[in-house]
A and B are shown apart, each in its own frame.
Chain A
Amino acid sequence: MPFIGYTRRSLLGMAGALALFPLAAGAQEDAAPLRVISYFAASTLDPHPGGSGWFLQSHGVAETLFWVDDDLTIQPKLATGAEPDGDAWIVSLRPGVRFSDGSPMNAEAVAMALTSLNASSPRATGSTGTITATAIDPLRVRIETERPVPVMPAVLAEFPLIMFKAVDDTWIYTGPYTVAEFEPSSRLLLEPNPHYWGQVPAAPVELRRLQDPQSRVLAVQAGEADLSFNLPPASLDRLAADGLIPLSVVTTKTEMLFMNLTRPPLDDPRVRQAIALGVDREMLVEAVGGGLPATSLFHPDFDFAPNEPLPHDPFRAADLLEDAGWAMGEDGLRRRDGEPFSLLLRHTTRQPDAITMAPVLQAQLQALGLQVEVRGYESTQPVLDAGEFDLIYFNSNTVPSGDGAFILDQWLRADGPRNHFGYDSAPFEDLMDRLGETRDPAARNALLLDISALLEEEVPVTPLFAVEFHMALTPQLAGYVAHPSDYFIVRPDMGIVD
Chain B
Amino acid sequence: MSGRGRGLTALGLLLAGLALASLWQPQDPFAIDLASRHAPISPSHPMGTDHLGRDLLSRMMLGAGNTAMVIVIVASLSFGLGTLVGVTAGLARGPIGSALIRTAEFVIAVPTLILALTITTLFGLSPVTAGLALGLATWGPYALLAHALTLRTLGQPHVLAARSLGVGRAGVAARHVVPETTDTLLTYLASDAGRTVVSYASLAFLGLGAETSQPDWGAMLFEYRGYVFDAPMLLIWPGLAITLTALTLNLALEPRPGHPGSRHRPKLKET
A-to-B contact residues, CB < 8 Å: 213-214, 217, 232, 234-235, 238, 283, 286-287, 347, 349, 352, 355-356, 358-360, 362-363, 373-378
Give Cα A234–Cα B51 distance, bound, in whole angstroms. 9
Proximity string of chain B (43-73) to chain A, C-beta cutoff 8 Å, 1 when within and 0 when not: 0000000011010000000000000000000
Select B227's contact among A234, A376, A378, beta carbons within 8 Å: A234
Give Cα A356–Cα B231 distance, bound, in whole angstroms. 15
Select A360's contact among B32, B223, B231, beta carbons within 8 Å: B32
Enumerate the 10 nearest inter-chain pairs by beta-carbon distance, A residue then B residue, closest first: A376-B212, A359-B213, A234-B230, A374-B213, A358-B212, A232-B226, A352-B226, A363-B32, A286-B34, A362-B213
- Chain A CB within 8 A of B239 CB: no
**B96 shortest CB reach to chain A, Å:** 40
Closest to B28 in A: A363
* Max chain B Cβ within 10 angstroms of own Cβ: one of A217, A235, A355, A373: A355
Pairwise interchain contact A359-B230, C-beta atoms closer than 8 A: no
Pairwise interchain contact A234-B226, C-beta atoms closer than 8 A: yes
Pairwise interchain contact A359-B209, C-beta atoms closer than 8 A: no
**B177 shortest CB reach to chain A, Å:** 44
Pairwise interchain contact A235-B229, C-beta atoms closer than 8 A: yes
Q: A375-B212, A376-B210 known; A359 and B30 CB under 8 Å? A: yes
- Chain A CB within 8 A of B124 CB: yes
Q: Which residues of B contact A287 (CB under 8 A)?
A: 32, 34, 51-52
Q: Which residues of B contact A235 (CB under 8 A)?
A: 229-230
Pairwise interchain contact A217-B229, C-beta atoms closer than 8 A: yes
Closest to B214 in A: A374
Pairwise interchain contact A355-B223, C-beta atoms closer than 8 A: yes
Give Cα A376–Cα B231 distance, bound, in whole angstroms. 23
Give Cα A347–Cα B209 distance, bound, in whole angstroms. 10
Q: Which residues of A contact B31 (CB under 8 A)?
A: 363
Known: A283-B34, A359-B213. 9 other contacts (CB 8 A): A235-B230, A238-B229, A238-B230, A358-B213, A359-B30, A363-B32, A374-B211, A375-B212, A377-B208
- Chain A CB within 8 A of B228 CB: yes
Give Cα A15–Cα B124 distance, bound, in whole angstroms. 76
Pairwise interchain contact B229-A359, C-beta atoms closer than 8 A: no
Pairwise interchain contact B212-A355, C-beta atoms closer than 8 A: yes
- Chain A CB within 8 A of B163 CB: no
Pairwise interchain contact A356-B52, C-beta atoms closer than 8 A: yes
Closest to B34 in A: A286
Q: Which residues of A contact B225 (CB under 8 A)?
A: 214
Q: Which residues of A contact B227 (CB under 8 A)?
A: 234
If over half of A's interface residues share one DSSP class (helix, strand or loop), that class is named, otherwise mixed; here it is helix
**A389 shortest CB reach to chain B, Å:** 13
Pairwise interchain contact B226-A213, C-beta atoms closer than 8 A: yes
The interface on chain B, measured as residues whose beta carbon lies within 8 A of the other chain's beta carbons, has a size of 24
- Chain A CB within 8 A of B207 CB: yes
Pairwise interchain contact B211-A375, C-beta atoms closer than 8 A: yes
If over half of B's interface residues share one DSSP class (helix, strand or loop), that class is named, otherwise mixed; here it is loop
Pairwise interchain contact A359-B124, C-beta atoms closer than 8 A: no
**B148 shortest CB reach to chain A, Å:** 41
Pairwise interchain contact B231-A234, C-beta atoms closer than 8 A: yes
Give Cα A360–Cα B54 distance, bound, in whole angstroms. 11
Pairwise interchain contact B229-A375, C-beta atoms closer than 8 A: no
**A423 shortest CB reach to chain B, Å:** 27
Q: Which of B189-224 contact A (CB under 8 A)?
A: 207-213, 222-223
**16 CB < 8 A contacts A-B:** A214-B226, A234-B51, A234-B230, A235-B229, A235-B230, A349-B207, A352-B226, A355-B212, A359-B32, A359-B213, A360-B52, A373-B211, A374-B211, A375-B124, A375-B210, A377-B209
Closest to B209 in A: A375
Pairwise interchain contact B212-A214, C-beta atoms closer than 8 A: no
Q: Which residues of B contact A352 (CB under 8 A)?
A: 226
Give Cα A287–Cα B208 distance, bound, in whole angstroms. 23
**B214 shortest CB reach to chain A, Å:** 9
* Max chain A Cβ within 10 angstroms of own Cβ: one of B209, B212, B222, B228: B212
Give Cα A151–Cα B38 distance, bound, in whole angstroms. 49
Q: Which residues of A contact B54 (CB under 8 A)?
A: 359
Closest to A288 in B: B51
**A162 shortest CB reach to chain B, Å:** 33
Give Cα A48–Cα B52 distance, bound, in whole angstroms. 43
Give Cα A367–Cα B100 distance, bound, in whole angstroms. 53
**B127 shortest CB reach to chain A, Å:** 14
Q: Which residues of A contact B52 (CB under 8 A)?
A: 287, 356, 359-360
Q: Which residues of B contact A234 (CB under 8 A)?
A: 51, 226-227, 230-231
Q: Which residues of B contact A378 (CB under 8 A)?
A: 208
Q: Which residues of A contact B230 (CB under 8 A)?
A: 234-235, 238
Give Cα A234–Cα B52 distance, bound, in whole angstroms. 12
Q: Which residues of A contact B208 (CB under 8 A)?
A: 377-378
Q: A234-B51, A356-B52 known; A214 and B211 CB under 8 Å? A: no
Give Cα A375–Cα B230 distance, bound, in whole angstroms. 26
Give Cα A358–Cα B215 distance, bound, in whole angstroms. 13
Give Cα A286–Cα B53 distance, bound, in whole angstroms. 12
**B123 shortest CB reach to chain A, Å:** 11
Q: Which residues of A contact B213 (CB under 8 A)?
A: 358-359, 362, 374
Q: Which residues of B contact A213 (CB under 8 A)?
A: 226
Q: Which of B206-264 contact A (CB under 8 A)?
A: 207-213, 222-223, 225-231
**A359 shortest CB reach to chain B, Å:** 4
Give Cα A286–Cα B52 distance, bound, in whole angstroms. 9
Give Cα A349–Cα B213 distance, bound, in whole angstroms. 12
* Max chain B Cβ within 10 angstroms of own Cβ: one of A213, A347, A363, A373: A363
Pairwise interchain contact A376-B30, C-beta atoms closer than 8 A: no
Give Cα A358–Cα B124 distance, bound, in whole angstroms. 17
Q: Which of B74-128 contact A (CB under 8 A)?
A: 124
Q: A349-B207, A359-B52 known; A374 and B30 CB under 8 Å? A: no
Pairwise interchain contact A349-B212, C-beta atoms closer than 8 A: yes
Q: Which residues of A contact B226 (CB under 8 A)?
A: 213-214, 232, 234, 352
Q: Which residues of B contact A349 (CB under 8 A)?
A: 207, 212, 222
**B231 shortest CB reach to chain A, Å:** 7
Closest to A349 in B: B207
Give Cα A373–Cα B125 distance, bound, in whole angstroms. 12
Give Cα A297–Cα B222 distance, bound, in whole angstroms. 30
**A435 shortest CB reach to chain B, Å:** 38
Q: Which residues of A contact B210 (CB under 8 A)?
A: 375-376
**B209 shortest CB reach to chain A, Å:** 6
Closest to B228 in A: A214
Give Cα A407–Cα B215 distance, bound, in whole angstroms. 36
Give Cα A26–Cα B30 distance, bound, in whole angstroms. 62
Q: A356-B52, A359-B32 known; A376 and B207 CB under 8 Å? A: yes
Give Cα A415–Cα B226 distance, bound, in whole angstroms. 40
Closest to A217 in B: B229
Give Cα A39–Cα B31 distance, bound, in whole angstroms. 32
* Max chain A Cβ within 10 angstroms of own Cβ: one of B222, B223, B226, B227: B226
